[in-house]
């Protein structure tokens, strides 16, 4: 199939290699953009600055809609320009993972976790020359969120695309044309979980665009205005969105999202009511993890930042303790925290992110930095395969991630997930799901449990990279622990 379509590939440089005796085609995997985010300070095991710069580029590869002229990812083009609800257009935003659905729930979670890392460790972005790239990258989903929220109608678009239809098609985003329904939240179909996370994205976006990204006061004010009305919408119509939209990510509740949203709104406005709401949504149990569904560890730490109360400090410590070795949680033999089999690297880096933001707030600094280093170093190469689970970092990294855009060439219409050989398009900066319980890992495109990528996988991870650069710059980063394998 590949061979017969060779002639349709016009713009791409062909490298014909031999796989199982068949001829096959790939495009070049050259770096898409002349980046020098390199940062080397004594004692650093890996170049966390470079990894940080690469992670930003992963998000640029997830862009949906009409790409700007300065799009840094050469193999990407415009896509799904027909995203709309009737005549209301809804182009833009990010594709979720290796698929092409735009799920605002994980998208907005990713945005506010990225913003939190940016705000907390902004010096690292300066040091590595990445501030401008980060501002450009994070503006994209925020502009989309402004489109999705129509306060005068009380309509919040929460998702574009039906997962069943989308997941059945293996093709470049530039080539898909299936129907893509627009799902909405409204007075009769609440979604406080989605509204809460989108509020957090908009409110933290206000801080980013008023403090870090130049004089964007008009844009920042628009984000804050939308955050205020959207927060109210989430409070007025309380409910879990997946109770009404079965195609949505199944969410376990909205208290954690609304608690984080209240904390962000309080940080931005200083209005007591937001803090009272946020504290009212606090739950006393030790949360299972930080991820697209569970925000409690982040909400608790945001509440500590907002109040300095011992309650939230202890809640944060209890959560981090639950992730440390010698506790109930499993570790792989080579030292990766093993929360569960699906996307192990994202669980480890999300927990490490909480530990590093806690460290930035003066909680158990040395211990948390050391533990976070052990996890991030494992991910970048301190493991039995000497592999970096971040695509494009070093020489040995996943070459077959489960990602349609990376594995399909847009000039060639047909694409089969099962072909042999490496993905033709380098999905630079993406964090792959990672190993199983025994550090076992096979670089197999069809294995979405271990080899998919996602906007939420990179969010905490990128914050960790910024933290490690910043702590190193401040001269407080401890020596990397000995590698276990």
Ligand X SMILES: *[C@@H]1O[C@H](CO)[C@@H](O)[C@H](O)[C@H]1NC(C)=O
Could you list the residues that contact ligand X (CB under 6 A)? 40, 44, 46-47, 177, 183-184, 186, 188-189, 214-215, 245, 386
Least distance from ligand X to the Cβ atom of residue 313, Å: 34
According to DSSP, residue 335 is labeled: S
Cβ closest to ligand X, residue 217 vs residue 340: 217
Burial of 484 (0-12, 13-18, 19+ CB in 10 A): middle
Annotation says 276 is catalytic? no
Cβ closest to ligand X, residue 5 vs residue 245: 245
Question: What number of other Cβ atoms are within 10 A of residue 155's Cβ?
Answer: 19
Least distance from ligand X to the Cβ atom of residue 229, Å: 17
Check if the beta carbon of residue 135 is closer than 8 Å to that of residue 482.
no
By three-state DSSP, how is residue 110 classified?
helix
Q: Which residue has the tokens 């979720």?
A: 96
Cβ closest to ligand X, residue 4 vs residue 177: 177
Give the span between the Cα atoms of 92 and 142, in whole angstroms: 10
Least distance from ligand X to the Cβ atom of residue 290, Å: 27
Least distance from ligand X to the Cβ atom of residue 214, Å: 5
By three-state DSSP, how is residue 386 classified?
coil
Cβ closest to ligand X, residue 212 vs residue 453: 212
Spell 133-154 as b/e; 16+ CB within 10 A means b. Answer: bbbbbbbbbbebbbebbbeeeb
Cβ closest to ligand X, residue 329 vs residue 484: 484
Cβ closest to ligand X, residue 217 vs residue 327: 217
Give the span between the Cα atoms of 246 and 221, in whole angstroms: 34
Annotation says 87 is catalytic? no
Q: Which of 174, 382, 452, 456 is catalytic?
A: 452
Q: Which helix (H) or strand (E) holds 117?
A: helix 104-120
Least distance from ligand X to the Cβ atom of residue 46, Å: 5
- Chain-centroid distance of CA 452 in Å reads 12
Least distance from ligand X to the Cβ atom of residue 342, Å: 25
Least distance from ligand X to the Cβ atom of residue 178, Å: 6
Cβ closest to ligand X, residue 188 vs residue 418: 188
Q: Which residue has the tokens 């980013």?
A: 208
Cβ closest to ligand X, residue 44 vs residue 431: 44
Cβ closest to ligand X, residue 381 vs residue 424: 381
Contacts of 219 (CB under 8 A, 6+ apart): 139, 142, 209
Give the span between the Cα atoms of 131 and 212, in whole angstroms: 8
Give the span between the Cα atoms of 28 and 13, in whole angstroms: 6
With the C-alpha atoms ordered 254, 255, 261, 262, is the resulting torsion angle positive or negative? positive
Give the span between the Cα atoms of 107 and 118, in whole angstroms: 16
Check if the beta carbon of residue 3 is closer than 8 Å to that of residue 22.
yes
Least distance from ligand X to the Cβ atom of residue 374, Å: 16
- Which residue(s) pair with 79 in the sheet? 65
Quote the Cα angle for 56-355-381, to 5°. 55
Burial of 169 (0-12, 13-18, 19+ CB in 10 A): middle
Least distance from ligand X to the Cβ atom of residue 132, Å: 11
Q: Which of 443, 444, 447, 482 is catalytic?
A: 443
- Which residue(s) pair with 402 in the sheet? 452
Side-chain-side CA neighbours of residue 94 (13 Å):
28
Kindly list the catalytic residues. Answer: 443, 452
């Amino acid at each position: 199939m590949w061979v017969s379509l060779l002639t349709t590939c016009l713009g791409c440089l062909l490298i014909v290699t031999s796989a199982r005796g068949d001829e096959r085609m790939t495009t070049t995997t050259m770096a898409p953009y002349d980046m020098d985010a390199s940062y080397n300070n004594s004692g650093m095991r890996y170049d966390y600055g470079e990894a940080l710069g690469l992670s930003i580029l992963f998000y640029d590869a997830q862009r949906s809609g009409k790409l700007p002229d300065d799009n840094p990812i050469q193999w990407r083009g415009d896509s799904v320009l027909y995203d709309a609800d009737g005549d209301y257009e809804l182009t833009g935003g990010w594709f979720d993972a290796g698929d092409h659905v735009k799920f605002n729930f994980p998208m907005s979670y990713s945005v506010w976790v990225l913003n939190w890392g940016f705000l907390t460790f902004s010096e690292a972005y300066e040091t590595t020359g990445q501030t401008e790239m980060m501002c450009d990258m994070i503006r994209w989903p925020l502009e989309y969120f402004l489109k999705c929220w129509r306060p005068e109608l009380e309509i919040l678009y929460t998702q574009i695309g039906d997962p069943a239809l989308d997941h059945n098609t293996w093709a470049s985003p530039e080539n898909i044309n299936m129907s893509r329904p627009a799902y909405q939240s409204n007075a009769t179909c609440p979604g406080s979980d989605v509204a809460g996370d989108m509020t957090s994205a908009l409110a933290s976006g206000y801080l980013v665009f008023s403090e870090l990204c130049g004089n964007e006061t008009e844009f920042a004010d628009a984000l804050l205005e939308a955050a205020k009305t959207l927060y109210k919408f989430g409070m007025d119509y309380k409910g879990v969105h997946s109770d009404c939209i079965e195609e949505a990510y199944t969410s376990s509740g909205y208290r954690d999202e609304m608690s984080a949203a209240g904390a962000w709104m309080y940080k931005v406005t200083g209005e007591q009511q937001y803090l009272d709401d946020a504290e009212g949504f606090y739950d006393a149990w030790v949360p299972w993890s930080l991820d697209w569904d569970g925000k409690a560890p982040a909400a608790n730490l945001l509440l500590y930042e907002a109040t300095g109360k011992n309650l939230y400090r202890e809640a944060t410590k209890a959560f981090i303790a639950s992730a440390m070795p010698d506790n109930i949680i499993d570790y792989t033999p080579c030292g990766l925290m093993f929360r569960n089999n699906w996307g192990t690297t994202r669980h480890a880096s999300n927990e490490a992110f909480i530990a590093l933001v806690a460290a930035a707030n003066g909680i158990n600094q040395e211990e948390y930095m050391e533990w976070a280093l052990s996890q991030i170093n494992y991910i970048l190469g301190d493991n039995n395969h000497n592999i970096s689970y971040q695509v494009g970092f070093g020489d040995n990294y996943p070459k077959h991630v489960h990602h349609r855009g990376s594995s399909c060439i847009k000039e060639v219409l047909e694409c089969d997930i099962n072909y042999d050989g490496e993905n033709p398009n380098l999905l630079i900066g993406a964090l792959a799901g990672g190993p199983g319980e025994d550090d076992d890992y096979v670089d197999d495109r069809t294995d979405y449990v271990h080899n998919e990528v996602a906007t939420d996988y990179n969010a905490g991870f990128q914050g960790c990279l910024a933290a490690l650069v910043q702590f190193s710059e401040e001269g407080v980063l401890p020596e990397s622990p000995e590698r276990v394998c």
